[in-house]
Chain A
Amino acid sequence: MVRIGVLALQGAFLEHANAMRQVKSTYGYDIDVIFVKTVEELRQCNGLIIPGGESTVMLNQARNSPGLMPELQSYLQDPSKPVYGSCAGMILMASEDGVGGGKKPQKGLGALQGMNVWRNAYGAQNESFEANIPFQGLLNPDIPFPAIFIRAPAIHSLVPSTPTPSSNASTASKLPAREDLCVLPPSLVPHIPEIADSPLGPADTEAMRIVAMKQGKKLVTSFHPELSGDLRVHEFFLRECCGMEADV
């Protein structure tokens, strides 16, 4: 049995837990889903989901829960731990110095070294949108995924900028191979304002199109599969990041 934790400090954690429980009953994965608010609960998890919500509030509440912040950071940086972050979860998984776009400086927790993200890259709520987009590696791959973007962040840039082929990933760099799973058409790419003194430097328009990405056991989406009722991204996380097999 694999225990999947959902970080329950703030945000749509219930929606993620419900989606996981539905994946369990629909596809027969042997999992148990728990909510994580304390360091004790985090230590029980074989995999972790960081939901959408307000990233500043989640960071704040992680700091306020005794001992949770350092444990969460080392959990996220441990390559053997499967972690999936949607929207605000993706912001938390960015490089330590890789978060831009907020009104105040903010740190990532370094789950994906080299991933820089930009908060609210698409604008405010009036620009929030839904689109059906192709997503590689899902079950029924011909059916695009109904993606809901809510005040969504975007990947600002990636270091290295090109995906390393898995064959020479171990030799060329210590990073596992990066898989760009879901790429927006150019018409939907956000406009990240050019800020001269932006600590992240200029945005990479190719990286900005990537809205779902997997590297090793880490998965990020800038949209919210937990809201769409389509379970395929959650199933993908169990299959591809947690290394599980469906019992159907």
Chain B
Amino acid sequence: MDFAIQDKEGNLSLPNGTTVNGTSNGASTPSTNGNANSQSASIPLPVRSDPSTTQRSSHTGTFGVKSGLAQMLKGGVIMDVMNVEQAKVAEEAGAVAVMALERIPSLIRSQGGIARMSDPTMIKDIIDTVSLPVMAKVRIGHFVEAQILQAIGVDYIDESEVLTMADDVNHIHKAPFNTPFVCGAKNLGEALRRIGEGAAFIRCKGEAGSGNVIEAVKHVRTLNSEIRKASTLSEEELYTYAKEISAPYHLLKETARLKRLPVVMFAAGGIATPADAALMMQLGCDGVFVGSGIFASGNPAQRAKAIVQATTHYNNPKMLAEVSANLGEAMSGVDVADNMPGGRMAGKGN
């Protein structure tokens, strides 16, 4: 044994052969219900990954490292890129991660056809070019595309409504994957269902490829208002509310206690200007995804830089005025409506 190991009771076995009775109450220690006599009758409480049951000294793919990477991306901008050159522009501009995909959402809208996972070669080329974390998208429910992305070593998988759905009923069972997942959500119930399936990172859906921030605002305001409501409910009411919004009860309870989602939440879907990014940050998002907003605009490099600046200094209007100036043409965008080209993407998956 190389170093201390903690067993289920919280007792420690130290490398020098001694043991210490448990005093800490770390995440790996299951809580007891305080009644020693009821052991046979009580239902065991759910336990997070328990390092003591194996002889391994370290653990990959834990929820801690999955949600932890999202926490490292906070206050940053994740940019959609379609090739190595765009990935370099994004890194140079100060992106915190890049999302590799063959067509940005505005192109998926205008060109139509089935949108699928990108070619692994293109994703690997981007991984080999930038030092940043690289994300890539899979179709909702397409767990084999996810297996492929995990095998080529992407840092985050986006199970995304931007692509065509592979399963219109089920999402991917994400928890067993070593690679973490980010998923979109329009409201609290949807966000908590995704976390229940194993997502370690949530973004609002917005309306990708529209250049129109209205849906992102709507989704974040809905999430915020539902979280506020949950945090005021009594225990009894919380059960009812969980039923109402079809959310796993334990995640709803945790959300109510924290007064925020239990994972990082970014804005996405329609962000096209520095002001849009700052708006989403002031509404309480932890960071932003910018899809078509950058590479469908007149001057991608400069716009990308400005959006990064706006995300850092989102509550400094003077700075925002400076970075918003002289950016050239923003993406033209479209009105969000049922008959828009490519239809409403946010409606895919629930």
State the main secondary structure of chain A at its contact with B: loop
Question: Is B94's CB under 8 angstroms from A57's CB?
Answer: yes
Q: Which residues in B have their C-beta under 8 angstroms from that of A61? A: 94, 308-309, 312
Question: Is A149's CB under 8 angstroms from B65's CB?
Answer: yes
Q: Does B147 contact A (CB under 8 A)?
A: no
Q: Which residues in A have their C-beta under 8 angstroms from that of B60? A: 126-129
C-alpha spacing A150/B97, complex, angstroms: 14
The number of residues on chain B lying at the interface, defined by a beta carbon within 8 Å of a beta carbon of chain A, is: 55
Q: Does B156 contact A (CB under 8 A)?
A: yes
Q: Does A92 contact B (CB under 8 A)?
A: no
Which residue of chain B lies nearest to A120 when distances are taken between CB atoms in the complex?
B131
The number of residues on chain A lying at the interface, defined by a beta carbon within 8 Å of a beta carbon of chain B, is: 55
Q: A125-B180, A131-B59 are in contact. Are A143 and B76 (CB under 8 A)?
A: no
Q: Which residues in B have their C-beta under 8 angstroms from that of A128? A: 60, 65, 68-69
Q: Which residues in A have their C-beta under 8 angstroms from that of B128? A: 103
Question: Is A185's CB under 8 angstroms from B2's CB?
Answer: yes
Q: A10-B76, A124-B155, A144-B4 are in contact. Are A132 and B69 (CB under 8 A)?
A: no
B147-181 with Cβ < 8 A to chain A: 150, 153-156, 178-180
Question: Is A132's CB under 8 angstroms from B6's CB?
Answer: yes
Question: Is A11's CB under 8 angstroms from B75's CB?
Answer: yes
Q: A61-B312, A143-B24 are in contact. Are A131 and B68 (CB under 8 A)?
A: no
Question: Is B71's CB under 8 angstroms from A151's CB?
Answer: no
A127-158 with Cβ < 8 A to chain B: 127-134, 140, 142-144, 146, 148-151
Q: A130-B65, A131-B58, A151-B69 are in contact. Are A57 and B4 (CB under 8 A)?
A: no
Q: Which of A24-32, A75-83, A197-205, A224-232 contacts B (4 or more CB under 8 A)?
A: A224-232
Q: Which residues in A have their C-beta under 8 angstroms from that of B73? A: 11, 53-54
Q: Does A37 contact B (CB under 8 A)?
A: yes
State the main secondary structure of chain B at its contact with A: loop
Please give the distance in Å from B13's CB to the nearest CB on chain A.
11
Q: A120-B131, A132-B3, A132-B5 are in contact. Are A144 and B12 (CB under 8 A)?
A: yes
Q: Which residues in B have their C-beta under 8 angstroms from that of A120? A: 131
7 A–B contacts from the bound complex (CB under 8 Å): A12-B72, A54-B96, A124-B133, A124-B154, A126-B150, A151-B133, A227-B71
Q: Residues on B close to A: CB < 8 A?
A: 2-6, 12, 14-15, 20, 23-24, 26-28, 51, 57-62, 64-65, 68-69, 71-76, 91, 94-97, 127-133, 150, 153-156, 178-180, 308-309, 312-313
Q: Residues on A close to B: CB < 8 A?
A: 8-15, 37, 52-54, 56-57, 60-61, 64-65, 87-88, 101-104, 119-120, 124-134, 140, 142-144, 146, 148-151, 185-188, 224, 227-230
Closest 7 CB pairs of A and B: A185-B2, A125-B155, A131-B58, A128-B65, A102-B131, A144-B4, A60-B94
